[in-house]
Structure 1
Amino acid sequence: MNPLPLPFNRVEGTAILAEKFESFQGEGPLTGQRCVFCRFSRCNLTCSWCDTKYTWDWAQYQPTDVSHRVAVPELINWVAECDVDLMVITGGEPMIQQPAMTALAAGVGEDVRVQVETNGTLAPVPELVDLVDLWVVSPKLANSGVGYSRRIVPPALAALQDTGRAVFKFIVTDVASDFSEIGELIDTFGLKRIWVMPEGDTPEKVLAGTAAIHEPALERGWNVSTRLHTLTGAR
């Protein structure tokens, strides 16, 4: 199953958005921080356990039902109205729409930190790099069901690592096999600042997964992330 290309005519200064909302960051190093999410629609991968399939799975969803084109100045004004100091640009895979990302990150101003969540398959353009305070890069493992050459793109990983502001977060379904694969990726690409997080769409699965990865991650010197939004039932 392959995602379709962006179906709407490109319009300067706009983004194809799935949703926007205010909440708390549920994953990674900034877990628990109040923020706004700008969820860009479309993705270049097709992970089997994806919890945002409405951004790319057109066998289940109609693109025009689950996404809409939004003017970037409208998004900037909305962020200002929310009065937050953290904006998370996520997806899908937001890096497919880097011109819109760049305009949005530049427009919110220096008082709003910008975090980007990406699967690490697309390198950032130079004008975007300095506008992002934190890159949360989540390279997909074999457990995603996506072929290696699609999910692991060495030049993109290197470019994100070279920003000096990237962390690498891996989704774990099986500790033994996934930790081995993560270790290989770390060694191959020299990845630093590692986080591991359990896959799970229920509080029970997340709690069990977190317990399973706790000691093995500690032994390897890796960080652990939970999934706060899944535990609380929030967005």
Structure 2
Amino acid sequence: MTTTKYKINELFQTIQGEGAFTGQPSIFIRLQGCPVGCSWCDTKHTWEIDPNLIIPSNDMLTKKQESEHWSHLTADEMANIFSQQGYKAKHIVITGGEPCMVDLTPLCDTFERLGYSCQIETSGTFEILTTERCWVTVSPKINMKGGYAILESAMQRANEIKHPVATEQHVDDLKKLLLDHNVKHTPIYLQPISQKQRATELAIQTCIDNNWRLSVQVHKYIGIE
């Protein structure tokens, strides 16, 4: 049993829509807090940690819309919620916000002992503290408002690198990052920042030119969370 409490903005079951696990039934754990400052972020409600916005877990589970309210939960409490909610998925995606602001080892260790697989989605700007078995998706956020650098340790720990693109500059930034950190064999996924045709066409052509892979945020196309 672990007593470590995590700041949880959302907890829900769905289908993973991005990267290597696209199509995988998954339980998403969305943590509160992120200082990175991505301009296109679609979860800005997770950025600030306001202790006045703590709510009971039942209220967090039944939120009807995105909000900055969050709950304090241990891994064991989350596992109990999974059971109570009747969740069937055995893959867990820990996202945010920026989940690696905290040590995720106790969280992943608990779930792995219960038979779940774990995946972390991170910007690569904080040390990744987790179990050896955990799948780490680094979505490097380069030159963002928060001023955080992409860490060498994060790039080397990544099981996949999933990069948002809308312009040629984003592609150039990624190529420089891969070169700077000597990344050669990690699978690379390009993800159009929007569903707009220009961004998608750029991502497709770049994937073909570099033998990379495409991630199209399937959940947005089919209209699920």
Whether TM-score is above 0.5 comes out as yes
Q: Which residue of 2 aligns with 1:92?
A: 97
Structure 1 residue runs of 5 or longer lacking an equivalent are 1-10
- Where in structure 1 do 4 or more consecutive aligned residues deviate above 4 Å? none
Q: Which moved more, 1:208-217 or 1:34-43?
A: 208-217
Q: 1:193 aligns with which of 187, 191, 198?
A: 187
Q: 1:50 aligns with which of 41, 44, 51?
A: 41
Partner Cα distance (1:146, 1:17) in 2 = 22
Letter in 1 for 2:31: F
Counterparts in 2 of 1:41 and 1:57: CA distance versus 1, 3 Å: closer
Q: Is 1:172–2:165 an aligned residue pair?
A: yes
Q: 1:107 aligns with which of 107, 110, 131?
A: 110
Partner Cα distance (1:229, 1:136) in 2 = 17
Please state which structure has a larger fraction of its residues in helix. Answer: 1
Coordinate RMSD, CA, aligned: 2.3
Aligned 8 A contact 1:72 1:104 in 2: yes
Identity of paired residues, percent? 27
Aligned-residue offset at 1:181: 1.2
Aligned-residue offset at 1:154: 2.5
Letter in 2 for 1:115: Q
User: Secondary structure in 2 aligned to 1:17?
Assistant: strand
Q: Which residue of 2 aligns with 1:225?
A: 215
1:31-85 residue CA offsets vs partner (Å, 9 max, x unmatched)? 11111101111113111111111111479xx754521212321102233541212
Matches within 5 A, 1:153-172: 153-158=151-156, 160-161=157-158, 166-172=159-165
Q: 1:73 aligns with which of 54, 71, 76?
A: 76
Aligned 8 A contact 1:141 1:171 in 2: no
Counterparts in 2 of 1:145 and 1:122: CA distance versus 1, 3 Å: closer
Q: Which residue of 1 aligns with 2:127?
A: 123
Scaled by the length of structure 1, the TM-score of the pair is 0.78
Q: Which residue of 1 aligns with 2:206?
A: 216
Scaled by the length of structure 2, the TM-score of the pair is 0.82
User: Secondary structure in 1 aligned to 2:102?
Assistant: helix
